[in-house]
Amino acid sequence: MTNHDRIHALEPAHHRNRWSVGTVESLEQRDGHCVVTVTDEAGEAVELVVTLAVRDLFVGRLDIGQGDSPVGERVWYRRHGG
């Protein structure tokens, strides 16, 4: 069982201090999951593993056109256990 990270297109309304902000650098599919690489506020790359359904959900909530790339978009995330 894979422990999935969490990612949101919109700033969370609760427990804001538990979330980090990053910019999407890339998305790729690996082993039936989506790996979202974000650059955190310190400029470090962070790999987040989410389900394909979560990928579709957060990409669909970004303010981009249908079919446009989410690269460069701001997101909020939590590493598993974070």
pLDDT digits (tens, 9 = 90+) for 7-58: 999 998 888 889 999 999 999 999 999 999 999 999 999 999 999 999 999 9
What was the pLDDT predicted at 2?
Answer: 61
What was the pLDDT predicted at 67?
Answer: 85
Place of tokens 């359904």: 53
Rounded to 5 degrees, what are φ and ψ at 58?
A: -70, -35
Residue 76 pLDDT greater than 80, yes or no: yes
Residue 81 pLDDT greater than 80, yes or no: no
